[in-house]
Amino acid sequence: MASLDTDILNDLTAALRTSGAFAHVELGGRRAEAVVPRASVLFERSDTFPSEPWPTSRWVRLQARVLLRTRSESPAQGQGRLCDLAAAACDAILADPYRGGRCVDLPVGRATEVQIIRRPRDERYPERATTLDVRSPEQELCLTVRCHYELADAGAFPVAARLDDDDLFSAGPCTFELGAWRRETIHRGFPGLLGELVFDLGLRGRPITQKGRLQADTAQGLHDLLAAVAAKDDAQLHTLTDHDGQTYTKVLVESFQPAGPIQAGRNFTCDYTIVYRQLP
């Protein structure tokens, strides 16, 4: 299990303890069977997904189960208490969906998701997978908790993308799309001429589109980074270096467009698109 997975599970356990709804909260097995109401946080699995827009990061989904158990004098009273415990557990877990900045909202899921999936299968009546045993005053309920975070792949590219000698893009991933060079020509035809005359007016520029994500530890740091990139839109020619070490000279910044509002998670992030024009 990754260290970040362990930190998230510990954070879930701490959130349930601070709710005040449980006499005992444990991470892992059932060490205190007799103590109720009880919540047990159990690791289930960790799945990794490729990050579609950015080749230098991965998305991770940590899935855990939270087993709730209570006991009462009557089955009906036990069901009511179990519903109250489930509501308290959901409120405690979702009070900080970003788990202290460890998790983020991703296309594969929100930072923290909670779902009541089923009541644990009764050992005496295994066919009762989704129903309560109304004859038993001891009740159990299982929550599925999914937490999502992003990992950056260190060493995915030999160098960080740069504009001139300024290190502006190493804090986040980015991709480059190179357009084709365009040659300007004039076509003329005359009566009695088989074919046409083509006048070469020379090679024109080509577009280079850079899409990526800027990130910083603080909101002010991210604003400063956005301002530094925007300052490169100064009608001057620059030198662009991509993350493979390829250099493009005579590059003009045509537009710099942040793609949306600043997002807060483990840090502060903002996606962007830069359109360059490289001159021949």
CATH level 3 topology of 162-278: Elongation Factor Tu (Ef-tu); domain 3 (2.40.30)
- In this prediction, residue 140 carries a pLDDT of 82
- In this prediction, residue 113 carries a pLDDT of 94
Class in CATH terms, 3-152 = alpha beta
Q: pLDDT over 70 for what percent of the chain?
A: 83
- In this prediction, residue 33 carries a pLDDT of 62
Asked whether the predicted pLDDT for residue 96 surpasses 90, the reply is yes
- In this prediction, residue 199 carries a pLDDT of 86
CB atoms near residue 124 (< 10 Å): 8
- In this prediction, residue 208 carries a pLDDT of 95
Q: What is the mean pLDDT of residues 266-270?
A: 78
Of the ranges 51-60, 118-127, 215-224, the best mean pLDDT one: 215-224
- In this prediction, residue 80 carries a pLDDT of 78
Residue ranges per structural domain of the chain: 3-152, 162-278
| Higher local confidence (pLDDT), 153 or 72 | 72
Strands laid side by side in the 38-50 sheet: 24-27, 38-50, 57-71, 138-152, 112-118
CB atoms near residue 138 (< 10 Å): 13
For the chain, the straight-line distance linking the first and the last C-alpha, in angstroms and rounded, comes to: 52
Rounded to whole angstroms, how far apart are CA atoms 150 and 48?
9
Asked whether the predicted pLDDT for residue 139 surpasses 60, the reply is yes
Nearest to 68 by CA among 76, 58, 78: 78
Asked whether the predicted pLDDT for residue 134 surpasses 70, the reply is no
- In this prediction, residue 156 carries a pLDDT of 53
Q: Using alpha carbons only, give the angle 42, 267, 96 rounded to the nearest 5 degrees.
A: 45
Tokens of 184: 């300007």
Asked whether the predicted pLDDT for residue 213 surpasses 50, the reply is yes
Residue range 180-201, pLDDT digits in tens: 988 888 888 888 778 888 888 8
Among the residues of 95-166, which ranges form H helices?
none
274 near 242, Cβ under 8 Å? no
